[in-house]
Amino acid sequence: MRIILLGPPGAGKGTQAVRLAEKLAVPHISTGDILRRNVVKKTKLGLQAQPYMATGKLVPDNLVIEMTAKRLKEKDARKGFILDGFPRTLAQANALEDLTEIDVVVNLFLDPEDLVKRSTGRQVCPNCEAVYHVLTNPPRKTNVCDKCGSDLVQREDDKEEVVRTRITTYEDLTEPLCMYYKEKALLRDVYASGHIEEIFERILEALRR
Ligand code: AMP
């Protein structure tokens, strides 16, 4: 299946995308993860993207479209994929249409105040990219990754002020995509509050619909 996960920052897209990719045995393609890897490696793309990411703004469409087109051409994406964090603008959605078909768009939604709480409590592993939350999904040992034992960190862009900018950016530029995919009869809304397992079940149910 070729699936897009839509939803504001803090809705749990990354966490659910990992599970879904495992369950469906397709790659999890997160444009945020790919960009962060480029920032760490200080590639040309990373250096261009970093100032936008640090302030909660979107990286310019042409850069992200080219990067995603390249990733979608890789062999493992032929059997399907979970796209997490792309498209984020109408220009990206239009470009995606020329690249591949999409079977379903899952839209995770939450109350705005819950979003801020979720993002500011998130912890990530700088080594293996595992994602935790101090309240809803804590690691077994405080601040230590269950999977690889590295010290967990807070993403720079999960600081409250940046999270608020990211939410506004989402509302202005990405939310219009819900209507875009609704008109194509691809959209499935899923309420993203509750336990991780419970939300995952709702997503599976939405895919069966
Ligand atoms: P994420 O991990 O999906 O929240 O992405 C982190 C940051 O990477 C975002 O705040 C943007 O600055 C950038 N980013 C990720 N995906 C995209 C995209 N599709 N278009 C533009 N910027 C993106």
Q: Which ligand 1 atom minimizes the distance to the CA of 33?
A: 2
Ligand 1: does its nearest atom lie under 6 Å from the Cβ of 167?
no
Q: Which ligand 1 atom minimizes the distance to the CA of 31?
A: 16
* Residues ≥6 apart with Cβ < 8 Å to 90: 176, 177, 180
**Residue 25 counted as domain residue:** yes
**Residue 145 counted as domain residue:** no
**Residue 146 counted as domain residue:** no
**Residue 167 counted as domain residue:** yes
User: With pLDDT > 90 as the criterion, what percentage of the chain qualifies?
Assistant: 88
The CATH number of residue 34's host domain is 3.40.50.300
pLDDT tens-digit readout, 129-154: 899 999 888 999 999 999 999 999 99
Ligand 1: does its nearest atom lie under 6 Å from the Cβ of 58?
yes
**Residue 169 counted as domain residue:** yes
pLDDT tens-digit readout, 3-13: 999 999 989 99
DSSP state of 68: H
**Residue 133 counted as domain residue:** no
Domain count across the chain: 1
Residues pairing with 28 in the sheet: 82
Distances (CA, A) of 204 to 16, 26, 82, 91, 135: 11, 15, 13, 29, 24
Distances (CA, A) of 127 to 40, 146, 150, 153, 199: 11, 12, 7, 10, 26
Ligand 1: does its nearest atom lie under 6 Å from the Cβ of 31?
yes
Domain that residue 203 falls in: 2-111+160-208
Q: Which of 38, 40, 53 to mutate to test the pocket of ligand 1 (most atoms within 8 A of CB)?
A: 53
**What spacing in Å lies between the alpha carbon of 30 and ligand 1's midpoint?**
9
**Residue 88 counted as domain residue:** yes
**Residue 122 counted as domain residue:** no
pLDDT tens-digit readout, 158-179: 999 999 999 999 999 999 999 9
Residues pairing with 81 in the sheet: 2
Catalytic residues: 13, 88, 122, 155, 166
Asked whether residue 116 carries a pLDDT value surpassing 90, the answer given is no
